[in-house]
Amino acid sequence: MSHARLEQPHHKQIDRDPHPRAALDAGAVRDAYRRWAGVYDEVFGGVSGAGRRRAVAAANRLPGDRVLEVGVGTGLALPLYEKRKQVVGIDLSSDMLRRARDRVAKERLGNVTGLLEMDAESMAFEDGSFDIAVAMFTATVVPDARRLFREMRRVVRPGGELLFVNHFAAEGGLRWWAERTLAPLSRVLGWHPDFALTDLLDDPHQAAEIESCPPFGLFTLVRVPNQG
């Protein structure tokens, strides 16, 4: 596993004025994922599978058994956790959670101890409730990714770990153009296509590991130690 990108990413500042970012709110997210819930696994499950496997493998290697999955969705990642990991999942979409509960029951995932409808930017958990928090393809969905990051830091104990898998905006080329073009459609899509790592972290050097994931480096795994 290569982590040669630790000193980066040096994303150039993108002028978004010609294509203003459409604001997301909880209602927009719920509406979007109500539309996606029935086809999410088929449409996104394959392309996001490698990133999901990388994130859970990283969580399985880390010390501590109390895991929070933020934005658990339909529960695609839940069967991948080692049985010793006690997993709680949260999501804003009741439609997605219904499918996650069906998956847990069907696959008899006894180590999944809770699936809760909850706002990731304002969690009901006490400080330091978990050893690890994992957010897969969630940071681009929430209205305020930095608030999400602060909440994840709060509910993870000092010395624990935060893991993110996400699409981050390209620095140039055709993909960069496409992301900017799609940005005004964020409310319809349910995520921000032009999302940058600096939209999540005040300082990208907070990350201890940054790893590109298949396919084609479209997604990135980021590990951030929770230093309190």
Average pLDDT of every residue of the chain:
78
Query: Dihedral sign, CA of 152, 179, 11, 55?
Result: positive
Q: Across the strands, what pairs with 162?
A: 133, 224
What is the per-residue pLDDT for 29? 54
The class that CATH gives domain 26-225 is: alpha beta
More confident residue, 18 or 86: 86
3-state secondary structure of 35: helix
> Cis bond leading into 193, ω under 30°?
no
Distance CA 67, CA 126 (A): 14
Among the residue ranges 7-21, 112-126, 164-178, the one predicted with the least confidence is: 7-21
Across 5-14, 132-141, 166-175, 207-216, which has the greatest mean pLDDT? 132-141
pLDDT over 70 at 28, yes or no: no
Among the residue ranges 75-79, 122-126, 168-172, 176-180, the one predicted with the least confidence is: 176-180
Distance CA 228, CA 225 (A): 9
Q: pLDDT, tens digit, for every residue of 140-189?
A: 888 899 999 999 999 999 999 999 998 876 454 444 434 444 344 333 33
Q: Across the strands, what pairs with 86?
A: 66
Distance CA 147, CA 138 (A): 12
Q: What is the pTM of this model?
A: 0.75
The residue extents of the domains of the chain are 26-225
Across 18-32, 94-108, 209-223, which has the greatest mean pLDDT? 94-108
Distance CA 97, CA 16 (A): 34
How many angstroms separate the Cα of 166 from the Cα of each of 84, 182, 197, 222, 227?
26, 17, 9, 8, 22
